[in-house]
Amino acid sequence: MDEKQASSSLPRVKELLLAWYAKSARALPWRETRDPYAILVSEVMLQQTQVERVIPRWQRWLERWPNVEALAAAKPAEVIVEWQGLGYNRRAVNLHRAARTVSAGGWPDDLTELPGVGPYTAAAVGNFAFGRDVLPLDTNIRRVQERTGVTFDGECAQALFDLGATICLARIPRCGICPLDAVCPSRGRRYEPLRRQSRFEGSFRQRRAEALRAVAAGAEPDDGDAIAALARDGLVAVTEDGAVMLPQD
């Protein structure tokens, strides 16, 4: 399907997609708010973490720090400890830094100016909080666009998230129940398995995670390489006499 055809087919495909979404949308708590802070927290947590794990942690986070000023006032150590179990702990440090940036100067027009916020997260917050007609391109949305040959607009974002997560799956899409089945040129196709993420067990990521948990518990792990990596990311502080602790400011 060429660009002209994709553009002309958008109204019909969009109508089918949004009608399906109106009946089948997943009940996700961050969809009930337009607060840019709450949405930013959800988007950062959802990076490489399953939705089911994020929901209770997002709710707990907002109970503890209900607004950007509350998070900005927290100590980095508190933020890192609260993040434990979500993985990729540097996300917590960047989220805290972003909160301090917003608390000091407000939300920038260009959201990528915030620490840890790249084009995808900026588009998601811009769309869901500020109503911008921009499509946050994650793996699911890219997959649907490639298979349908349609370039969707920002209004379709949440519907595309759900379609990609529940129906237009990576290997074996569930075309028989897809709302776009009648108009999709890729219907019925099967796909090669994607390259798997490297194993966590036995990896350096695991060593970093174990070292960070030990520091949070008040111990000093005997893993200099992991501690050095954590220090570079701002996840631990090393004193002049070599003591290791969570950052306090």
Catalytic annotation, residues: 43
d(CA 37, CA 106): 11
Q: Is the CA virtual torsion 148, 195, 166, 21 positive or negative?
A: negative
179-208 burial, b at 16+ Cβ within 10 Å, e below that, comes to bbeebbebeeeeeeeeeeeeeeeeeebebb
Inter-axis angle of helices 157-166 and 3-24, to 10 degrees? 80
One-letter amino acid at 131 equals G
**Which residue from 182, 151, 134 is spatially nearest to 5, judged by alpha carbons?**
151
The residues pairing with 245 across neighbouring beta strands, listed in sequence order, are 237
**Which residue from 247, 204, 244 is spatially nearest to 226, judged by alpha carbons?**
204
Provide the 3-class DSSP secondary structure of residue 25. coil
> What's the token pair of residue 149?
């040959």
Q: Is the CA virtual torsion 81, 121, 231, 48 positive or negative?
A: positive
DSSP state of 233: T
Q: Are 159 and 145 in contact (CB under 8 A)?
A: no
